[in-house]
Amino acid sequence: MANEFFRRSHEKGFEKFAEIGRLAFDIINLAQSLPDHIRVYFLWHTETDAFGKTKAKTVGKMLDEKYTPEGVFTIALKTVVNQGQYQFATRNSGNDTVKAPIGMFEHELIDNDLAEVDRAICDFYDIPTQPQTTETTQ
């Protein structure tokens, strides 16, 4: 989103924000329409507002107020630094949008390792890690 925003920084008016928001919406919808064996991970920077609430950083109010990207996902983890270690938070602190299904992760903080997160998701939802193929004989 930020790249698109800066690419179009010369444009006047608010229409570009609506278009950038629509592009982000389209990308999320495309990812959700892919076959079940394809997993897509969205990585976002975060921002903290004046009230101490942390959320995904977006461009413009349209996504924030009308859509809220984290709201369309079942899982939203956040990187935290804990005693010099980078980890993922798996549970909501009350001031962020972190969420995961109950029982997916045993601990509130886990290693910042996307491969481990992927394995946990596959285990939880019983998703094969490799797509099933069918052999054909001639």
Give domain status of residue 55, yes or no.
yes
- Average pLDDT rounded to a whole number, residues 63-89: 90
Average pLDDT, the chain: 86
Model confidence over 31-71: pLDDT tens digits? 999 998 899 999 999 999 999 999 988 876 777 777 788 88
Over residues 16-36, mean pLDDT: 85
**Res. 97: pLDDT tops 80:** yes
What count of other Cβ atoms lies within 10 Å of the Cβ of residue 75?
17
Tell me how many domains the chain contains: 1
Quick one: pLDDT at residue 93? 96
Longest dimension (CA), the chain: 66
In a domain, 75, yes or no: yes
In degrees, rounded to 5, the angle at the alpha carbon of residue 13 between the alpha carbons of residues 42 and 43 is 10
Domain membership flag for residue 104: yes
Q: Would you say the pTM of this structure is higher than 0.95?
A: no
Predicted pLDDT at 66: 73
Tell me which residue range forms the domain holding 91: 2-125
Cβ atoms within 10 Å of 120's Cβ, excluding its own: 18
**Please, where are the H alpha helices in the chain?**
2-7, 15-32, 61, 114-125
